A = this chain, B = another copy of it.
Protein backbone atom coordinates (compact mmCIF):
# COMPACT_ATOMS: atom_id res chain seq x y z
CA UNK A 1 0.00 0.00 0.00
CA UNK A 2 2.57 2.57 1.07
CA UNK A 3 5.43 3.78 -1.04
CA UNK A 4 8.27 2.46 1.08
CA UNK A 5 10.90 4.63 -0.51
CA UNK A 6 9.26 7.86 0.57
CA UNK A 7 7.77 6.81 3.86
CA UNK A 8 8.52 8.82 6.95
CA UNK A 9 7.80 7.97 10.48
CA UNK A 10 7.31 10.75 12.98
CA UNK A 11 7.08 10.82 16.70
CA UNK A 12 6.09 13.76 18.82
CA UNK A 13 8.40 13.25 21.78
CA UNK A 14 11.96 14.37 21.18
CA UNK A 15 13.50 11.91 23.63
CA UNK A 16 12.32 9.05 21.44
CA UNK A 17 14.64 10.09 18.63
CA UNK A 18 17.17 7.31 19.08
CA UNK A 19 14.43 4.67 19.05
CA UNK A 20 12.87 6.37 16.05
CA UNK A 21 16.12 6.44 14.12
CA UNK A 22 16.56 2.75 14.77
CA UNK A 23 13.01 2.18 13.57
CA UNK A 24 13.66 4.13 10.40
CA UNK A 25 16.92 2.38 9.63
CA UNK A 26 15.35 -1.03 10.10
CA UNK A 27 12.25 -0.01 8.12
CA UNK A 28 13.96 1.73 5.23
CA UNK A 29 16.66 -0.47 3.83
CA UNK A 30 19.87 1.52 3.63
CA UNK A 31 22.40 0.01 1.22
CA UNK A 32 25.63 -1.35 2.69
CA UNK A 33 28.58 1.02 2.66
CA UNK A 34 30.46 0.53 -0.61
CA UNK A 35 33.87 -0.82 0.30
CA UNK A 36 35.48 0.66 -2.79
CA UNK A 37 35.06 4.12 -1.25
CA UNK A 38 38.11 5.21 0.73
CA UNK A 39 38.15 6.16 4.39
CA UNK A 40 38.91 9.78 5.21
CA UNK A 41 42.51 10.23 6.47
CA UNK A 42 44.36 12.95 8.37
CA UNK A 43 46.12 13.81 5.11
CA UNK A 44 42.77 14.52 3.47
CA UNK A 45 41.75 16.78 6.35
CA UNK A 46 45.07 18.59 6.06
CA UNK A 47 44.53 19.15 2.35
CA UNK A 48 41.00 20.46 3.00
CA UNK A 49 42.30 22.78 5.73
CA UNK A 50 44.88 24.22 3.35
CA UNK A 51 42.20 24.71 0.76
CA UNK A 52 39.42 26.21 2.89
CA UNK A 53 41.13 27.45 6.03
CA UNK A 54 40.81 25.62 9.36
CA UNK A 55 37.53 27.35 10.26
CA UNK A 56 35.80 25.89 7.26
CA UNK A 57 36.72 22.25 7.94
CA UNK A 58 34.69 21.01 10.87
CA UNK A 59 35.39 17.67 12.53
CA UNK A 60 33.78 18.37 15.92
CA UNK A 61 30.27 19.37 16.95
CA UNK A 62 28.79 18.45 13.62
CA UNK A 63 25.50 16.93 14.81
CA UNK A 64 23.58 19.72 13.10
CA UNK A 65 24.93 18.40 9.81
CA UNK A 66 24.69 14.66 10.57
CA UNK A 67 21.05 14.95 11.68
CA UNK A 68 18.22 16.25 9.54
CA UNK A 69 16.29 19.14 11.09
CA UNK A 70 13.50 16.88 12.36
CA UNK A 71 16.05 14.52 13.91
CA UNK A 72 14.63 11.47 12.13
CA UNK A 73 17.77 10.52 10.19
CA UNK A 74 21.36 10.29 11.35
CA UNK A 75 24.57 10.14 9.36
CA UNK A 76 28.04 9.24 10.60
CA UNK A 77 30.19 11.77 8.82
CA UNK A 78 33.29 12.92 10.62
CA UNK A 79 33.97 15.93 8.43
CA UNK A 80 31.98 18.94 7.21
CA UNK A 81 33.45 21.20 4.53
CA UNK A 82 32.18 24.77 4.19
CA UNK A 83 33.55 26.22 0.94
CA UNK A 84 33.11 29.93 0.18
CA UNK A 85 33.76 30.00 -3.56
CA UNK A 86 33.38 27.86 -6.67
CA UNK A 87 37.09 27.16 -7.04
CA UNK A 88 37.16 25.61 -3.58
CA UNK A 89 34.22 23.35 -4.46
CA UNK A 90 35.94 22.33 -7.66
CA UNK A 91 39.12 21.43 -5.76
CA UNK A 92 37.13 19.47 -3.14
CA UNK A 93 35.29 17.46 -5.82
CA UNK A 94 38.51 16.83 -7.71
CA UNK A 95 40.30 15.62 -4.57
CA UNK A 96 37.38 13.37 -3.55
CA UNK A 97 37.19 11.92 -7.05
CA UNK A 98 40.88 11.15 -7.13
CA UNK A 99 40.95 9.67 -3.62
CA UNK A 100 37.60 7.85 -4.02
CA UNK A 101 36.06 9.66 -1.08
CA UNK A 102 32.27 9.66 -0.89
CA UNK A 103 30.60 13.05 -0.40
CA UNK A 104 27.05 14.30 0.14
CA UNK A 105 26.16 17.90 -0.83
CA UNK A 106 24.02 19.56 1.82
CA UNK A 107 22.04 22.75 1.32
CA UNK A 108 19.74 24.11 4.05
CA UNK A 109 19.17 20.58 5.41
CA UNK A 110 15.41 21.13 5.62
CA UNK A 111 14.33 18.06 3.61
CA UNK A 112 11.94 15.52 5.13
CA UNK A 113 13.31 12.39 3.44
CA UNK A 114 16.94 12.36 4.58
CA UNK A 115 18.35 13.25 1.17
CA UNK A 116 20.95 15.62 2.55
CA UNK A 117 22.13 13.33 5.37
CA UNK A 118 25.07 10.92 4.91
CA UNK A 119 24.05 7.26 4.83
CA UNK A 120 27.38 6.22 6.33
CA UNK A 121 30.59 8.21 6.73
CA UNK A 122 30.42 10.44 3.65
CA UNK A 123 32.03 13.88 3.81
CA UNK A 124 29.37 16.60 4.08
CA UNK A 125 29.78 19.47 1.64
CA UNK A 126 27.71 22.23 3.25
CA UNK A 127 26.74 25.21 1.10
CA UNK A 128 25.90 27.45 4.07
CA UNK A 129 28.88 29.77 3.66
CA UNK A 130 28.57 30.02 -0.08
CA UNK A 131 27.09 33.52 -0.08
CA UNK A 132 29.35 35.97 -1.87
CA UNK A 133 27.80 36.94 -5.20
CA UNK A 134 24.36 38.50 -5.35
CA UNK A 135 23.15 40.70 -8.18
CA UNK A 136 19.67 41.68 -9.29
CA UNK A 137 19.11 43.32 -12.66
CA UNK A 138 16.14 45.40 -11.61
CA UNK A 139 15.05 46.13 -15.19
CA UNK A 140 14.94 42.56 -16.48
CA UNK A 141 14.13 41.00 -13.10
CA UNK A 142 16.94 38.45 -13.47
CA UNK A 143 18.75 37.47 -10.29
CA UNK A 144 22.25 35.94 -10.26
CA UNK A 145 23.36 34.60 -6.90
CA UNK A 146 25.49 32.03 -5.18
CA UNK A 147 23.57 28.94 -4.16
CA UNK A 148 24.12 29.31 -0.41
CA UNK A 149 21.74 32.20 0.24
CA UNK A 150 18.74 31.46 2.49
CA UNK A 151 15.52 31.73 0.46
CA UNK A 152 14.00 34.29 2.82
CA UNK A 153 17.13 36.44 2.67
CA UNK A 154 17.00 36.39 -1.12
CA UNK A 155 13.38 37.49 -0.90
CA UNK A 156 14.11 40.25 1.61
CA UNK A 157 17.00 41.60 -0.46
CA UNK A 158 15.00 41.83 -3.67
CA UNK A 159 11.89 43.16 -1.89
CA UNK A 160 13.67 46.51 -1.61
CA UNK A 161 13.57 46.71 -5.39
CA UNK A 162 9.92 45.66 -5.69
CA UNK A 163 10.57 42.01 -6.55
CA UNK A 164 9.63 38.70 -4.96
CA UNK A 165 11.04 35.16 -5.23
CA UNK A 166 8.32 33.21 -7.06
CA UNK A 167 8.63 30.15 -4.79
CA UNK A 168 7.35 30.19 -1.19
CA UNK A 169 7.87 27.31 1.24
CA UNK A 170 7.36 26.69 4.94
CA UNK A 171 11.13 26.17 5.21
CA UNK A 172 12.00 29.52 3.64
CA UNK A 173 13.73 30.78 6.77
CA UNK A 174 16.43 28.10 6.53
CA UNK A 175 16.39 26.41 3.11
CA UNK A 176 19.00 27.65 0.63
CA UNK A 177 18.24 28.75 -2.91
CA UNK A 178 20.54 26.06 -4.38
CA UNK A 179 18.64 23.32 -2.55
CA UNK A 180 15.31 24.74 -3.72
CA UNK A 181 16.58 24.35 -7.30
CA UNK A 182 18.19 20.95 -6.69
CA UNK A 183 14.88 19.56 -5.35
CA UNK A 184 12.65 21.57 -7.72
CA UNK A 185 10.68 22.55 -4.62
CA UNK A 186 7.11 23.63 -5.36
CA UNK A 187 5.35 25.25 -2.41
CA UNK A 188 2.09 27.13 -2.27
CA UNK A 189 2.58 29.47 -5.24
CA UNK A 190 3.36 26.94 -7.98
CA UNK A 191 -0.13 27.42 -9.40
CA UNK A 192 0.77 31.03 -10.19
CA UNK A 193 4.48 31.14 -10.97
CA UNK A 194 5.25 27.56 -12.02
CA UNK A 195 8.08 25.34 -10.80
CA UNK A 196 11.79 26.17 -10.79
CA UNK A 197 11.83 25.04 -14.44
CA UNK A 198 9.67 28.06 -15.25
CA UNK A 199 11.95 30.46 -13.40
CA UNK A 200 15.57 29.24 -13.45
CA UNK A 201 17.28 30.43 -16.64
CA UNK A 202 20.75 29.06 -15.99
CA UNK A 203 23.07 27.45 -13.46
CA UNK A 204 26.73 27.21 -12.65
CA UNK A 205 27.54 23.69 -11.51
CA UNK A 206 30.64 21.80 -10.38
CA UNK A 207 30.96 18.21 -11.54
CA UNK A 208 32.30 15.34 -9.45
CA UNK A 209 35.04 14.38 -11.91
CA UNK A 210 38.83 14.43 -12.02
CA UNK A 211 39.05 18.16 -12.69
CA UNK A 212 36.05 19.13 -10.55
CA UNK A 213 34.93 20.77 -13.77
CA UNK A 214 32.89 23.96 -13.50
CA UNK A 215 30.18 24.40 -16.11
CA UNK A 216 28.02 27.40 -16.80
CA UNK A 217 24.79 26.09 -18.32
CA UNK A 218 22.02 28.28 -19.67
CA UNK A 219 22.40 32.01 -19.05
CA UNK A 220 20.87 34.98 -17.24
CA UNK A 221 18.46 35.45 -20.16
CA UNK A 222 14.76 34.60 -20.17
CA UNK A 223 15.11 33.20 -23.68
CA UNK A 224 18.20 31.29 -24.70
CA UNK A 225 17.91 28.47 -27.20
CA UNK A 226 21.61 27.96 -27.91
CA UNK A 227 22.61 24.30 -27.41
CA UNK A 228 20.79 21.66 -25.41
CA UNK A 229 19.24 23.08 -22.26
CA UNK A 230 21.49 21.12 -19.93
CA UNK A 231 20.86 23.22 -16.82
CA UNK A 232 17.33 21.79 -16.79
CA UNK A 233 18.80 18.38 -15.94
CA UNK A 234 20.19 19.72 -12.66
CA UNK A 235 16.80 21.10 -11.57
CA UNK A 236 15.31 18.37 -9.40
CA UNK A 237 18.42 16.18 -9.69
CA UNK A 238 19.01 16.33 -5.91
CA UNK A 239 22.80 16.30 -6.03
CA UNK A 240 23.04 13.21 -8.24
CA UNK A 241 24.85 14.99 -11.06
CA UNK A 242 26.94 17.65 -9.39
CA UNK A 243 26.88 20.65 -7.08
CA UNK A 244 24.85 23.73 -8.00
CA UNK A 245 27.10 26.72 -7.25
CA UNK A 246 25.27 29.63 -8.83
CA UNK A 247 21.65 30.26 -9.78
CA UNK A 248 20.33 32.55 -12.53
CA UNK A 249 16.60 33.03 -12.22
CA UNK A 250 13.82 35.43 -12.96
CA UNK A 251 12.06 36.93 -10.00
CA UNK A 252 8.59 38.43 -10.11
CA UNK A 253 7.08 41.84 -9.27
CA UNK A 254 6.06 41.91 -5.60
CA UNK A 255 2.25 41.95 -5.35
CA UNK A 256 0.73 45.12 -3.91
CA UNK A 257 -2.54 43.47 -2.92
CA UNK A 258 -3.10 40.04 -1.33
CA UNK A 259 -6.43 38.45 -0.36
CA UNK A 260 -7.17 35.11 1.35
CA UNK A 261 -10.46 33.26 1.70
CA UNK A 262 -11.48 29.96 3.30
CA UNK A 263 -14.40 28.06 1.79
CA UNK A 264 -16.31 25.03 3.07
CA UNK A 265 -17.45 22.50 0.46
CA UNK A 266 -19.40 19.28 0.94
CA UNK A 267 -18.08 17.17 -1.95
CA UNK A 268 -14.81 16.74 -3.79
CA UNK A 269 -16.67 17.05 -7.08
CA UNK A 270 -17.71 20.57 -6.03
CA UNK A 271 -14.11 21.40 -5.04
CA UNK A 272 -13.08 20.65 -8.63
CA UNK A 273 -15.88 22.84 -9.99
CA UNK A 274 -14.84 25.69 -7.71
CA UNK A 275 -11.23 25.35 -8.89
CA UNK A 276 -12.44 25.64 -12.46
CA UNK A 277 -14.54 28.73 -11.72
CA UNK A 278 -11.68 30.21 -9.70
CA UNK A 279 -9.34 29.81 -12.66
CA UNK A 280 -11.82 31.73 -14.81
CA UNK A 281 -12.90 34.47 -12.40
CA UNK A 282 -9.69 35.01 -10.44
CA UNK A 283 -7.54 33.96 -13.37
CA UNK A 284 -4.40 36.11 -13.47
CA UNK A 285 -4.45 36.92 -9.75
CA UNK A 286 -4.71 33.41 -8.24
CA UNK A 287 -1.57 32.71 -6.22
CA UNK A 288 -2.66 29.71 -4.10
CA UNK A 289 -5.42 27.14 -4.26
CA UNK A 290 -4.98 24.86 -1.25
CA UNK A 291 -7.03 21.92 -0.06
CA UNK A 292 -7.76 20.74 3.51
CA UNK A 293 -10.15 17.89 4.24
CA UNK A 294 -12.61 17.83 7.13
CA UNK A 295 -10.47 15.30 9.03
CA UNK A 296 -7.51 17.71 8.85
CA UNK A 297 -9.70 20.53 10.18
CA UNK A 298 -10.84 18.36 13.12
CA UNK A 299 -7.23 17.40 13.77
CA UNK A 300 -5.88 20.98 13.91
CA UNK A 301 -8.67 21.83 16.38
CA UNK A 302 -7.90 18.82 18.64
CA UNK A 303 -4.10 18.84 18.35
CA UNK A 304 -3.28 22.52 17.84
CA UNK A 305 -6.33 24.29 19.30
CA UNK A 306 -7.08 26.08 16.04
CA UNK A 307 -10.76 26.86 15.52
CA UNK A 308 -12.35 26.61 12.11
CA UNK A 309 -13.62 30.14 11.39
CA UNK A 310 -16.62 28.77 9.46
CA UNK A 311 -19.82 27.86 11.23
CA UNK A 312 -20.27 24.49 9.48
CA UNK A 313 -17.66 21.72 9.61
CA UNK A 314 -17.68 20.82 5.93
CA UNK A 315 -16.17 17.70 4.40
CA UNK A 316 -13.63 19.79 2.52
CA UNK A 317 -12.09 23.24 2.72
CA UNK A 318 -10.36 25.37 0.11
CA UNK A 319 -7.92 28.11 1.06
CA UNK A 320 -7.61 30.54 -1.81
CA UNK A 321 -5.14 33.41 -2.13
CA UNK A 322 -4.95 36.12 -4.78
CA UNK A 323 -1.97 38.41 -5.43
CA UNK A 324 -2.09 41.39 -7.73
CA UNK A 325 -1.15 44.97 -8.36
CA UNK A 326 -4.47 46.70 -7.66
CA UNK A 327 -6.27 46.43 -4.32
CA UNK A 328 -9.64 47.61 -5.61
CA UNK A 329 -9.66 45.32 -8.66
CA UNK A 330 -8.50 42.25 -6.76
CA UNK A 331 -10.98 42.77 -3.98
CA UNK A 332 -13.81 43.15 -6.49
CA UNK A 333 -12.78 39.93 -8.30
CA UNK A 334 -12.62 37.98 -5.04
CA UNK A 335 -16.03 39.29 -3.92
CA UNK A 336 -17.67 38.31 -7.20
CA UNK A 337 -16.08 34.87 -7.09
CA UNK A 338 -17.21 34.21 -3.51
CA UNK A 339 -20.72 35.46 -4.26
CA UNK A 340 -20.93 33.18 -7.28
CA UNK A 341 -19.86 29.98 -5.54
CA UNK A 342 -21.96 30.68 -2.44
CA UNK A 343 -25.12 31.66 -4.33
CA UNK A 344 -24.84 28.70 -6.69
CA UNK A 345 -24.63 26.35 -3.71
CA UNK A 346 -21.19 25.01 -4.66
CA UNK A 347 -19.77 26.27 -1.38
CA UNK A 348 -21.52 25.73 1.97
CA UNK A 349 -19.87 28.66 3.68
CA UNK A 350 -16.94 31.04 3.22
CA UNK A 351 -14.92 33.71 4.95
CA UNK A 352 -12.71 36.41 3.48
CA UNK A 353 -9.82 37.64 5.63
CA UNK A 354 -10.36 41.32 6.36
CA UNK A 355 -6.72 42.03 7.12
CA UNK A 356 -3.25 40.46 7.22
CA UNK A 357 -3.79 39.13 10.74
CA UNK A 358 -6.99 37.30 9.74
CA UNK A 359 -5.21 35.95 6.66
CA UNK A 360 -2.40 34.66 8.88
CA UNK A 361 -4.98 32.80 10.99
CA UNK A 362 -6.39 31.08 7.90
CA UNK A 363 -2.92 30.13 6.69
CA UNK A 364 -1.99 28.87 10.14
CA UNK A 365 -4.66 26.16 9.78
CA UNK A 366 -3.17 24.95 6.51
CA UNK A 367 0.43 25.25 7.69
CA UNK A 368 -0.24 23.39 10.95
CA UNK A 369 -1.49 20.26 9.20
CA UNK A 370 1.90 18.56 8.61
CA UNK A 371 3.19 19.01 12.16
CA UNK A 372 0.08 19.04 14.41
CA UNK A 373 -0.81 15.45 13.49
CA UNK A 374 2.40 14.28 15.17
CA UNK A 375 0.59 14.69 18.51
CA UNK A 376 -1.41 11.56 17.63
CA UNK A 377 1.67 9.34 17.87
CA UNK A 378 3.33 7.83 14.82
CA UNK A 379 2.58 9.30 11.43
CA UNK A 380 3.01 7.76 8.00
CA UNK A 381 3.50 10.65 5.58
CA UNK A 382 3.02 10.61 1.82
CA UNK A 383 3.43 13.14 -0.93
CA UNK A 384 1.63 12.32 -4.19
CA UNK A 385 0.93 14.13 -7.43
CA UNK A 386 -2.22 12.89 -9.12
CA UNK A 387 -4.52 13.86 -11.96
CA UNK A 388 -7.27 15.89 -10.33
CA UNK A 389 -10.00 13.33 -10.92
CA UNK A 390 -8.06 10.81 -8.79
CA UNK A 391 -6.88 13.41 -6.25
CA UNK A 392 -9.28 12.32 -3.51
CA UNK A 393 -9.74 8.71 -4.56
CA UNK A 394 -6.39 7.83 -3.05
CA UNK A 395 -7.17 9.03 0.50
CA UNK A 396 -10.44 7.11 0.26
CA UNK A 397 -8.61 3.97 -0.91
CA UNK A 398 -6.16 4.31 1.98
CA UNK A 399 -9.09 4.64 4.38
CA UNK A 400 -10.69 1.48 2.97
CA UNK A 401 -7.43 -0.45 3.04
CA UNK A 402 -6.74 0.44 6.66
CA UNK A 403 -10.32 -0.33 7.60
CA UNK A 404 -10.45 1.52 10.92
CA UNK A 405 -6.95 0.46 12.02
CA UNK A 406 -5.54 4.01 11.90
CA UNK A 407 -6.22 6.68 14.49
CA UNK A 408 -6.63 9.27 11.79
CA UNK A 409 -6.24 9.68 8.03
CA UNK A 410 -5.97 13.25 6.85
CA UNK A 411 -5.34 14.86 3.47
CA UNK A 412 -4.26 18.34 2.55
CA UNK A 413 -2.23 19.87 -0.22
CA UNK A 414 -2.03 21.85 -3.41
CA UNK A 415 -5.24 21.02 -5.30
CA UNK A 416 -4.27 23.56 -7.96
CA UNK A 417 -1.21 21.45 -8.81
CA UNK A 418 -2.73 18.00 -8.13
CA UNK A 419 -0.30 17.48 -5.23
CA UNK A 420 -1.83 15.82 -2.15
CA UNK A 421 -0.27 15.00 1.23
CA UNK A 422 -1.83 11.99 2.90
CA UNK A 423 -0.95 11.48 6.56
CA UNK A 424 -1.92 8.38 8.53
CA UNK A 425 -1.51 8.52 12.29
CA UNK A 426 -1.46 5.64 14.77
CA UNK A 427 -0.76 5.75 18.52
CA UNK A 428 2.45 3.66 18.25
CA UNK A 429 4.58 2.56 15.33
CA UNK A 430 3.17 -0.74 14.07
CA UNK A 431 4.93 -2.82 11.43
CA UNK A 432 1.60 -4.49 10.56
CA UNK A 433 0.06 -1.17 9.57
CA UNK A 434 3.18 -0.31 7.61
CA UNK A 435 2.96 -3.63 5.74
CA UNK A 436 -0.63 -2.89 4.72
- A339 vs B351: C-alpha distance when bound (angstroms): 37
| CB of A436 within 8 Å of the partner chain | no
| CB of A30 within 8 Å of the partner chain | no
Contact of A235 among B138, B229, B235, B255 (CB under 8 A): B229
| CB of A139 within 8 Å of the partner chain | yes
Interface string of A170-211 (1 = CB under 8 A from B): 000000000000011010001100110110000000000000
User: How far is the CB of A243 from the nearest CB of chain B, in Å?
Assistant: 16
Interface string of A319-347 (1 = CB under 8 A from B): 00001111001001100000000000000
Q: Pick out which of these stretches binds chain B: A61-69, A81-89, A278-286, A366-374.
A: A278-286
Contact of A186 among B137, B223, B279, B389 (CB under 8 A): B223
Chain B contacts for A417, CB-based, 8 A: 221-223
| CB of A22 within 8 Å of the partner chain | no
| CB of A253 within 8 Å of the partner chain | yes
Q: Are A236 and B229 in contact (CB under 8 A)?
A: yes
Contact flag A141-B326 (CB < 8 Å), given A221-B385, A387-B220: no
User: How far is the CB of A7 from the nearest CB of chain B, in Å?
Assistant: 15
| CB of A237 within 8 Å of the partner chain | yes
Contact flag A223-B272 (CB < 8 Å), given A228-B236, A232-B233, A387-B137: no
Closest B-chain residue to A279, C-beta based? B253
Contact of A388 among B140, B255, B275, B280 (CB under 8 A): B140
| CB of A162 within 8 Å of the partner chain | yes
User: How far is the CB of A323 from the nearest CB of chain B, in Å?
Assistant: 8
Chain B contacts for A282, CB-based, 8 A: 325
| CB of A418 within 8 Å of the partner chain | yes
Contact of A224 among B223, B280, B385, B416 (CB under 8 A): B385
**Could you tell me which residues of chain A, from 216 to 264, have a CB within 8 Å of some CB in chain B?**
219-225, 228-230, 232-233, 235-237, 240-241, 253, 255
Chain B contacts for A183, CB-based, 8 A: 225
User: How far is the CB of A140 from the nearest CB of chain B, in Å?
Assistant: 5
Chain B contacts for A194, CB-based, 8 A: 194, 198
Chain B contacts for A139, CB-based, 8 A: 272, 275-276, 388-389
Chain B contacts for A191, CB-based, 8 A: 222
**Could you tell me which residues of chain A, from 366 to 425, have a CB within 8 Å of some CB in chain B?**
385-389, 414, 416-419
Chain B contacts for A275, CB-based, 8 A: 139
- A323 vs B284: C-alpha distance when bound (angstroms): 9
User: How far is the CB of A133 from the nearest CB of chain B, in Å?
Assistant: 16
Chain B contacts for A414, CB-based, 8 A: 223
Chain B contacts for A329, CB-based, 8 A: 326, 329, 332-333
Q: Are B279 and A385 in contact (CB under 8 A)?
A: no
Chain B contacts for A279, CB-based, 8 A: 141, 253
Contact flag A223-B385 (CB < 8 Å), given A194-B198, A229-B184, A229-B197: yes
Chain B contacts for A197, CB-based, 8 A: 197-198, 229, 232
A/B interface sample: 30 pairs, CB < 8 A: A137-B388, A137-B389, A139-B275, A139-B388, A140-B388, A141-B279, A142-B387, A162-B280, A183-B225, A186-B223, A197-B232, A198-B198, A219-B385, A220-B387, A221-B386, A222-B417, A222-B418, A228-B236, A229-B233, A232-B232, A232-B233, A232-B235, A253-B280, A280-B325, A282-B325, A284-B285, A284-B324, A284-B325, A325-B333, A329-B333
For the complex with contacts A228-B237, A229-B232, A329-B329, 12 further pairs of A-B residues with Cβ separation under 8 Å are A137-B388, A139-B275, A184-B229, A186-B223, A223-B414, A228-B236, A228-B241, A253-B280, A253-B283, A280-B325, A284-B285, A326-B329
Residues of A that sit less than 8 Å from B by CB: 137-142, 162, 183-184, 186, 190-191, 194-195, 197-198, 219-225, 228-230, 232-233, 235-237, 240-241, 253, 255, 272, 275-276, 279-285, 323-326, 329, 332-333, 385-389, 414, 416-419
